[in-house]
Structure 1
Amino acid sequence: MSHDNYSRLVTLAGVAAITTATLLIIGKLIAWLMTDSASLLASLTDSFMDVSASVINLLAIRYALAPADDEHRFGHGKAESLAGLIQAAFISGSAFLLVMHGISSLLQPGPLPRLEAGLWVSGGSMVLTLLLVTFQSFVIHRTGSVAVKADMLHYRSDLLLNGGVLLALVLAGQGWYWADGAFAIAIGLMLLWGAVHIGWESVQALLDRQLPVEVQQRIMELCCQVEGVHGVHDLRTRQSGPTRFIQLHLELDDRLPLVEAHRIADEAEAALLRSFERTDVIIHMDPMSVVSKEAASSGPQPS
């Protein structure tokens, strides 16, 4: 996928998330004012967090897509992970408030007026959220964006959230008034768990976690398939926003002319770029004799 297509898809995902969250806020606000439901308030608060996080997400995505400059030679991709970390903080704060409000409602349960409005809004929210998550899943499959993935995680949890609100309202309508507060607490705890997951993923990206093992194995295989390459060592990988970074050492014959060694390295780099889109590759060439000496010196020492 080209940089322009990547930019277009992740931007569309950000705009779709903001639009959906805004529509949900309007509907849930009206329903909450009509019903005074604690679970609906929990859902409304979550939607406020969604739109705030999605705005931050969109701004971070736009910044992450900016090309490398003199002060940021590796690009701006980590802005996506920073956005995920900010989202985790937002969601954690809202989850704590929801649990507190749910406890208050649970201790003082009561009948809810105009439940029909809450039921219609909750059902409509599930449909809109399902459409958004489906589109976000498509974008993640095509781009692998960390920011869109973080955004999708809490919108996907919204499907359960809205289903829980719907069930709570039905139970409250049957006289089980405690269900409204209980579901608000459950929603808050679920959001908190999601925030921990998003925060962990974002921190790992900021700490330059290696690419998955299967990706590393594929990199080794592609390089070793190039004629003249005897082995690969010191492989280092990471991902920053949309860009993968690959650094490795090729093991080559001692007697190769520099021009020939450079040609082999170029072939290895071309093979990696064909298989991995949006990738920055750095290759160092080592003569086999040096590799053998280093391996011998790093071997087990006598006790």
Structure 2
Amino acid sequence: MDVHGLAPAETARLTRRVTYYSVGVAAVLVAAKLVVWLLSGSVALLASMADSALDLLASAGTFVAVRYAIHPPDAEHRFGHGKAEAFASLVQAGLVFASAALIGRQAIADLVHPHAVEDSLWAIFVMVLSTALTGLLIAAQTRVLRRAASVAVSGDRAHYAADLASNLVALVGIAAAAWLGVARLDPIAALIVAAILLWGAVNVFRQSSAQLMDRELPESERAEIVRLMTEDPRLIDVHQLRTRASGPYVHMQMHVDLDPELTLEAAHQVIVAAEKRVLAAFPAADIIIHADPLGRAEPHGGAFAEAPAAEA
């Protein structure tokens, strides 16, 4: 499904609701893991609790970002506030890196000086609870992302997907350390958790930086834009198409070739009709169209000048 096919208001409704879930799940897990870590002393559980605490901070940032990103353009932000989502996602990546570093440091110390895991049943219980709640949250986030574009929610989901894997690893480590009597299995599990988190952080960073660097929309969406624009045979060609995403919004600009014999009024009607076709498929789009008379237009200059026809 085209994730840019929802109106901004519907995208805002979906993303706001799922961020409530995210903050709630993180708060419950931090409280539960804190209590059981104090009882058990498990370093794998401590690692998971530290990660959940950073999850809570990251989810709170996402909670704020998706609400700010949907604000309409103003005098100081003519292209809207959508990139707030990418900034929030970038902060998430930094928090995950910090979490992985702290977990790795504590795990190495515990490998050097291992200790037994106490109250293992409680530790196992809270990890099962954490795994179940995280899985439900990821499912909810996935449903939202199938319908709406949100780099902040996508980053949050990637973060929690890494958490889900780390929870499973920590659960195995705690159970093995408690039931097999091998204390070092607990910090080894924590090191695996740290590695998983580092990998998740890299993926979140890639996604957020792509939006901050104005990466083009996928080729399938660009092709759809061209197809919609050229449904009217009087609009002959589309060139210099540039697209970028900004949170829930999509910005696109293009040059189009028109029959040079069209009157100004007729050319205007053709372009307005084409714009409406694109908006029907991309309701959150901001569209700029420059009309060229076919065969009579001068090459456009400026910082992003068109290449000469022989090189195009």
- 1:27-65 deviations in whole A, cap 9, x for unaligned? 111111111001000000000010000111111111111
Equivalent position SS for 2:214: coil
Distance apart, 1:5 and its partner CA: 2.3
Distance 1:297 1:177, change over 3 A: closer
1:97 aligns with 2:102: yes
2:28 maps to which of 23, 31, 52: 23
Aligned length: 300
Alpha-carbon distance, 1:110 to partner: 2.5
Matched, 1:276 2:282: yes
Counterpart position of 1:245:
251
Secondary structure of 2:296 counterpart:
helix
Q: Which aligned runs of 4 or more in structure 1 are off by greater than 3 angstroms?
A: 291-298
Q: Does 1:299 align with 2:310?
A: yes
Is the aligned partner of 1:236 residue 2:247? no
Partner of residue 134, structure 1: 139
Shift of 1:277: 2.5
Deviation at 1:267, TM superposition (A): 1.2
The yes-or-no answer on 1:199 pairing with 2:201 is no
Question: Residue 271 of structure 2: which of 251, 265, 270 is its match?
Answer: 265
Bigger drift between 199-208 and 145-154 goes to 199-208
Shift of 1:293: 7.4
The reply on whether 1:221 has 2:221 as its aligned counterpart is no
- Residues 15 and 66 in structure 2, CA contact (< 8 A), matched pair in contact too: yes
User: TM-score, structure 1 length as denominator?
Assistant: 0.95
Letter in 1 for 2:74: D
Report deviation, 1:298: 3.6
Q: Structure 1 pair 297/235, CA: closer, same or farther in 2 (3 Å)? A: closer
- Quick one: which amino acid aligns to residue 88 of structure 1? A
Report the secondary structure of 2:235's partner residue: coil
Where relative contact order (Cα < 8 A, 6+ residues apart) is larger, the structure is 2
Structure 1 partner of 2:215? 209
Instruction: Work out which of the residue numbers 77, 81, 85 in structure 2 matches 1:80.
Output: 85
Please identify, of 3-12 and 60-69, the stretch whose mean Cα deviation from structure 2 is larger: 3-12
Q: Verify the 8 A CA contact 1:39 1:184 in the aligned structure 2.
A: yes
What is the RMSD of the two structures over their aligned residues, measured on CA atoms? 1.6
Deviation for aligned residue 1:259: 0.5
Q: Give, in whole Å, the separation in 1 of the partners of 2:38 and 2:297.
A: 72
* Unmatched runs of 5 consecutive residues or more in structure 1: none
What is the distance in 1 between the residues matched to 2:71 and 2:266? 36
1:291 Cα deviation after fit: 5.1
- Which whole-Å CA distance do the structure 1 matches of 2:65 and 2:298 have between them? 46
Alpha-carbon contact 2:8-2:283 (below 8 Å) kept: no
Name the residue aligned to 1:109.
114
Mapped partners of 1:186, 1:126: distance in 2: 16
C-alpha contact (below 8 Å) 1:99/1:188 kept by paired residues: yes
Give the deviation of 1:296 after TM superposition: 10
- In structure 2, runs of 5+ residues without a counterpart are 1-5, 301-305
CA separation in 1, counterparts of 2:124 and 2:284?
Answer: 45
| 2:243–2:251 CA contact under 8 A, matched in 1 | yes
Distance 2:161 2:138 in 1: 6
User: Does structure 2 conserve the Cα–Cα contact (< 8 Å) formed by 1:227 and 1:264?
Assistant: no
Q: Does 1:51 align with 2:56?
A: yes
The CA distance in 2 between the partners of 1:260 and 1:51, in whole Å, is 56
Shift in alpha-carbon separation, 1:147–1:7, aligned structure 2, 3 A: same
Q: Which has the higher helix share?
A: 1
